[in-house]
Every structure is written in structure tokens, then in C-alpha cells.
A and B are shown apart, each in its own frame.
Chain A
Amino acid sequence: MITTETVNVQDEKKSAFLGSLSSAFQGVESYTALRKSAWDTLSKFAIPGTKTEAWKYTRVGKVINQARKKSGGNTQINLPEIAIGGLRYVFVDGVFRADLSDELTWQGLNIRRTGESAENNLLGTLSNHNADWFEAVNAAFFNDGLVIDVDKHTHIDCPIHLVFFASEENTAAFSRNVISLQESSSLQVFTHYIGSQHSTFSSVVTEAFVAKNASLKIDKIQEGNEAAFHHVEWTKQERDSRFDITTVTLKSSWVRNDLNIRVAGENCHSSLTGAYLPSGKEHVDNHTMVDHMVPNCESDEKYKGIVRENATAVFNGKVFVRPDAQKTNAFQQNANIVLDDTATMFSKPELEIYADDVKCSHGSTTGQFDEEAVFYLRARGIGEVMARKLLVEAFLADVITTLSDERLQSYCTEKIQQLMHS
């Protein structure tokens, strides 16, 4: 009896949530095959809960227990104070803002809007909308985003700066990006996700294709405030390519990041770094997956967090080394400082290695501030606040320094210090 009731409650919540989105996002067309399979997933599976392994530690009530509407995207916004040069494209509540954005097409670089161009044949080819409920929600409702193509042998020497604002109370926004680097090209993308004091839900799925000998760097900064963020990156690397991504989660009430890399060609390098520092009632979940499908590749992963005051952080790092992927070097490290008894950290490295001639290592540490170090610094005349500041900076430094631009690094360092002393 109890089971049936639970299912009924689940069903009611599911239909209320999907119902509000269906009416809000009416008229979303194109990509019919993708959307059909997404809807199959949504009807087949329950909303992820404690029994869904990949969502075990992340409660989704904050996102789904609220009817969501679609925004007109007209909110007046202040652009972030980071100017890193390059081309900037701005979405407000999922709506492209031409008035705040640069021209779409540049030499060697082809940028189109997902919602306004012909169907892209790469979109939906990597993502997991057939099994993951939230990726299916994104696939069912997305209405815009960017498709970025870099021509063969083209090195784009200015960064592409994507800004996603979430501003209007009780709105949902669904965006879908495709980044495609042709052979021997390179690109740096800075995605800045910004929320407001209003409750919003925004889901962005980005599929990246890094061709032979190409190099893609993504710097991702999340400042959700009261926003709930569901951000998914799927990347496929061809031979001799390089993919680097740094994810820094500043103040954000609810974040789920899914970062998945398929290493499909030999001699690739992939690096994944992340930093998070939730406090208050914030929740940050980083799920990563590196799939070594072929031999002679290297992946290097380092996630670091400081968790305090009732906050929860989740790190789940999967590394697959398939039977053919001999001579793989895969490293993973997750280090956490849990500052008080009320904060919670779930750290789960998962290595599945099916090849026998590989070098793989992983380490997960969760501890407290080194009080001996604090005392040592104080004994040299450094005040307690400054001592802790130095130690926080030192702890996160090897993640923050992987951001490609010094201005991003100092932006994050400064924000982190403000957060630690608020």
C-alpha cells in the first residue's frame, strides 16, 4: 500500500512539474525525434530520488516542487564586472539578448542560435536524454542556445564569453549548445552562469566535439545565488586532441553538474578541475565521467571543496578504462575541507578498469582546517582572519590557477575571500 501511495505522490509531482513546463514552453518545435525520445524517458522513469544511484545525494524538490513559467527575457541586467575581451553572447532567462551580444559570425568562426537555425546534426548525439531524467527535461523543452563551429586550422585567439543570467522569479530556462572544433583548431570558452535573489531553474546542456589535433578550453564560473543550476557538458575527443575544463562554483543554492568526456581517439589529454565552497543551505553536486575508450591517453582530474554551515557537497568521479585502452594514465583527486559538524561531504571515486597495462590513481580526502597551520601563521603576527584567508587561497590555488585568464583567476580569488568572510 505504502509503495503505491509513494508512486502516486511521485506521479502527481511529476505531472505537475512537466505540466507547468509543457504549457509554459508551448510551441517548442524542431528536433522532433530527440524530443520524442526525451518524452519517452520522462514518462518511463520516475523523478530521480534516493533510489536513483546517480542522484542519490541530491534532492530535487527545490527544482520540481514549484510550477515554473517561461520568461520574456526582458529583465534589465547588469553585465558582470569581468571584461576578458573577446566575443560576448548573453542569454537572460534562456532568451538570447542581441542588444547585449556581439555579432554572430566572425572569420573562421561560425556561431548560430540553436533556436533559429536548421537542425544541427550533432545536437543530441552525445547526451544522455535516454536514461537521465533531467537531461530528458532539457531535451524536451530547450528552445535556444548557441552552435559554435571553428573551422579547420583556425586558432581563435580571443575567448568566447557566454553569459547565462537567471533572473525572473519562478521561471525555468532550457538551453542547448553545440561546440564543434574542426581538425587542428583551438578555442577558449568562458561560460559565466549568474543567478539572482529569485528562485529560478536553468538547465544548460552543452555538447562539445573536439576533432583531431584540436584544443578546447572551457572556464565555467557559477554564481547562482538563489538559482538552481543543472549544467551538463558532454565532450567527445578525437585523436591528438586536448580538452581542459575548470568549474568554479561560487555562491549557488542548488547545483548539479554532469561533466562527461568520451576519449575516442588515441594520444589525447583531458583535464578536469573544479572548486566549490557551499555554505548555508547550499547544495553542490559534481558528477564527472571520463571514458577511456582507446589506448595511450591521459586524464587528470582534481576537484577541491570547502564545505561549511549546513551545506552539502557531492563529488562522484567515474573513470572507465575500457579493455582496449592500454597505456592509459588516469589520475583523480578530490580533496575537501569540512569546516563544521553541520556540513556534509559525499565523495565517491569510481574507477572501472578493464585494461591491464595502465596507470591509474585516485585519492579522496576530507578533513578539517589545519589548526596547527593557523597557529603557526598567527605566531608570526598574522591575524586569524588573514591566516585563514591565506590557507583557503592556498588550498584552492591549484584549481583556480587552471582558469585560463588571470582576470578570471583574480575575480574568483576575490569572490572566494568575500564568501569566506561573509
Chain B
Amino acid sequence: MLQIKDLHANIDGTEILKGLSLHIKPGEIHAIMGPNGSGKSTLASVLAGNEDYEITGGSVAFGDKDLLELSTEDRAREGLFLAFQYPVEIPGVSNINFLRTAVNEIREYKGEEPMSAGDFLKLVKERSALVELDGKLANRSVNEGFSGGEKKRNEVFQMAMLEPKLAILDETDSGLDIDALKIVAQGVNAMRSPERSFVVITHYQRLLDYIVPDFVHVLYKGKIVKSGSKELALELEARGYDWIKEEVSA
């Protein structure tokens, strides 16, 4: 599904990713944890195609495609989805119009007919219910005036609408209260399937109680320095990151 090999990336001349490798198979959930500044969000941005970052080495294969050769929109059309840590407010663009355009551009890319208005609205109704997103929110401008929790639920709603092959959740849990966290997790779990993989980037183990990962990786100084099962997350929660840092420098 996704094969990252020895990936190096800079921003403004500073190297953030320093040889990151990761292999994700269909249906797997990988959690990426790590202290602040270790490169977690950079990884998400680089995979989504943010041009602020310069790739200086390594490769990323997404299915049979060279991901780094694709434009941001083509990555999305190939089935990559990034749930943003800070979703942008776009006044004047209705959530519905935006999603309909996205759905149909993706279908066009795949050589499919546009979705009919009726089918589209049915899907909106069904998928917005997954994250208990009030129907009225769907008609508002994209993220405009949404609360923090609504923005994150809207990200998961969009994911559910676009049905990606790989979804990267960038700190989707940050700033959420426990109820909102459960709703977000419930939306993600509803979308789990043997063909769909997830990368869950988070600081906190708490989210992983609700979205149970197959693998947990620790990202530190731009590299994956430790990988394990879901128990690793519990250990990190209990012991912090210092022991990892010591292991790395030892």
C-alpha cells in the first residue's frame, strides 16, 4: 500500500526527516507517536504534497505509483487522504459544493461518471451521521465558524465521503474532549476495511484506546527509532519518551 524508504525532507534548509522508512499493508492501522518536533506533522505534509517541503532523498511508493511524482490533487485522487491538524476555514465555499466537486473530480480521474445529485445527498446523509455532524453543518461554508471538535469531525466526514485507500490522521485527537474523541474514533472505525489503511499521528495514547492500532512507531529526530505493538503506546504513556531518547543516543 505505502512503502516509504529512507525519506529525507527539508524546510527552509533545515532537515526534518532524516531517513524515515515505513511499510504499510492494506487494512493495517499504524500509529506514529513521538515528542514534539520529531517530524510527525512534516511526514503528513510531505505525503500530502505540501510544496513548502523539499524532498532531498528516498522514495515513497503508493500502490504501483511513485507518490513523490504526483501532484497534491493526484495523490488524493489515487486514494490518499490527510485529515489536517489545523483545517482551514474557507468562507463562501459551501461544504457541500466543495465535497461534490471533490467527489466528482476524483471520479473523473478514475474515468467514472459524476455522481447523481440524489446519490450524493444520500451519501452525505449517511456519512455525516457517522460523525454525528448535524445536517446543517454540511450546508455551511467549509469549516467557517466551526468549533475545534466540529472541524475534526468534518475532516473525518470528508474522509468517509471520499473513501480513500490510505487515510493519515494528523493529531485528529488534539483539543478534543472525550465525547468528541469517541465520535471521531467511531467514524474512523466505521470506515475500517481490509483494503483501507490508516496512519494515526498522535501525542497521546488515549486515542489508541478507541482506534486500536496494529503497529505503533516512535518517530524521533526524523526517523522511526522504535516499532512495536499497541502495548508500546501504553509503555510510552507510562514512561514518557526519555528512555527512548537514551536508547537512541546510546
Contact = CB atoms under 8 A, between A and B. Distances in A.
B98 A380 contact: yes
Interface size class for chain A?
A: 20 to 34
Interface of A: 370, 372-373, 375-384, 386-387, 390-391, 393-395, 397-398
Interface stretch (B82-90, B122-130, B173-181, B190-198): B82-90
Nearest to B73: A378
Interface stretch (B6-14, B99-107, B111-119): B99-107
Most chain A beta-carbon neighbours within 10 Å: one of B87, B105, B158: B105
A387 B162 CA distance: 17
B229 interface: no
Contacts of B139: none
A91 to B, nearest CB: 36
Contacts of A383: 73, 105
B18 interface: no
Given A383-B105, A395-B92, A397-B92, 15 more contacts: A372-B88, A376-B90, A378-B72, A378-B73, A379-B73, A379-B82, A380-B99, A380-B158, A381-B102, A383-B73, A384-B71, A386-B101, A390-B101, A394-B92, A398-B92
Quick one: which of B73, B97, B109 has the most chain A CB within 10 A?
B73
A359 B241 CA distance: 56
A337 to B, nearest CB: 12
B72 A373 contact: no
B69 to A, nearest CB: 16
A379 B76 contact: yes
B76 A380 contact: yes
Given A383-B105, A391-B90, A378 B84 contact: no
A79 B158 CA distance: 45
Contact of B162 (A375, A377, A381, A386): A381
Given A373-B88, A375-B50, A381 B105 contact: yes
Nearest to B159: A380
Nearest to A395: B92
A390 B82 contact: no
B72 A375 contact: yes
B17 interface: no
B227 to A, nearest CB: 27
B49 interface: yes
A387 B48 CA distance: 16
Interface string B140-173: 0110000000000000001000100000000000
Given A375-B50, A376-B87, A390-B101, A382 B92 contact: no
B92 A380 contact: no
Contacts of A376: 84, 87-88, 90, 142
Contacts of A394: 90-93, 141
Given A376-B88, A377-B98, A382 B73 contact: yes
A291 B230 CA distance: 70
Given A375-B50, A378-B71, A379-B48, A390 B105 contact: no
B223 interface: no
B82 A393 contact: no
Nearest to A392: B92
A45 to B, nearest CB: 43
Contact of B102 (A375, A380, A391, A398): A380
A376 to B, nearest CB: 4
A43 B92 CA distance: 50
B76 A378 contact: yes
